[in-house]
Amino acid sequence: MPTARPVRRAAVALAGLALIAGCSSDTKARIDGTAPSSTPDTVTVVTDAPTTTQVPTAATPLVRQAVIDYWAAQLACQQRPRDCRPASFTAGQGTLRADVTAAVSTLLTNGWHRADADDTDGGYVAVGAVTVAPDATTAITEECVYDPTPLMDRNGVVTADAVPHRFSHTVYLESGRWKVGDEQIDPAGACDDTPDSIPLDTVDPTG
């Protein structure tokens, strides 16, 4: 089993606002430009190679890190939506940047933000299979993401979600850097992967 280690709080924008606030049906929140000014807390993530039917390539760990970085930036964006710059952490290809921008707009319109979580809230990102395309310009990832950090307004908690959700992302190689560009959320919700349940990369001889 891989050892999970704390990383920049790559937490969930929960099926983001999609499930929580009823915005964009399959994505999350942020606005346009450069990186968020604040640094998120930490969350447990899996950085060892996950199970996959593909022999890991040189791109596999880079794609995995891109997904982890995306979740960290996503949370920072939702915590301080006025500082959010979706173009700094999403790909130009795909629909995610527009979805994130729309979700940030919803946050700002309603006066919502994600709470600043401490390091003991139990949130995690468990990165599962990573499949890199033969031309090494796109990849598909699977994650189980849990973030109990509540959505807040001036009066307190608006809503919270204590259920891990399963995500799939398309990651694009743009100007030498992998960035997340499309996102699918399983609306059925719960997944039970945890950081210590993701085995090391294995090769399926039939895959």
- Please indicate, yes or no, if residue 111 is contained in any of the structural domains: yes
pLDDT for res 188: 76
- Please indicate, yes or no, if residue 172 is contained in any of the structural domains: yes
Length of the chain: 207
- Please indicate, yes or no, if residue 199 is contained in any of the structural domains: no
pLDDT for res 91: 98
Between the alpha carbon of residue 14 and those of residues 58, 133, 144, 161, the distances in Å are 30, 27, 11, 8
A 10 A CB-CB count for 11 gives 30
Between the alpha carbon of residue 32 and those of residues 16, 43, 87, the distances in Å are 17, 25, 5
- Please indicate, yes or no, if residue 204 is contained in any of the structural domains: no
Q: What is the CATH number of the domain that holds 131?
A: 3.10.450.50
Q: Give the phi and the psi of residue 3 in degrees, each rounded to 5.
A: -95, 125
Range of the domain at 166: 5-189
Between the alpha carbon of residue 105 and those of residues 36, 43, 97, the distances in Å are 15, 26, 12
The tally of domains found in the chain comes to 1
- Please indicate, yes or no, if residue 195 is contained in any of the structural domains: no
Tell me the whole-structure pTM to 2 decimals: 0.73
CA diameter of the chain:
55
d(CA 103, CA 157): 18
Q: Which of 108, 47, 51 is nearest to 82 (CA)?
A: 108
Q: Give the pLDDT confidence of 73-92 residue by residue, as tens digits.
A: 999 999 999 999 999 999 99
Place of tokens 């995500």: 167
Pair 193, 106: CB distance under 8 Å: no
pLDDT per residue as tens, the chain (207 positions): 333 333 322 233 334 454 433 333 333 322 223 333 333 444 444 434 444 458 889 999 999 999 999 999 999 999 999 999 999 999 999 999 999 999 999 999 999 999 986 644 678 888 889 999 999 999 999 999 988 888 999 999 998 777 888 999 999 999 999 999 999 998 876 787 666 665 544 333 333
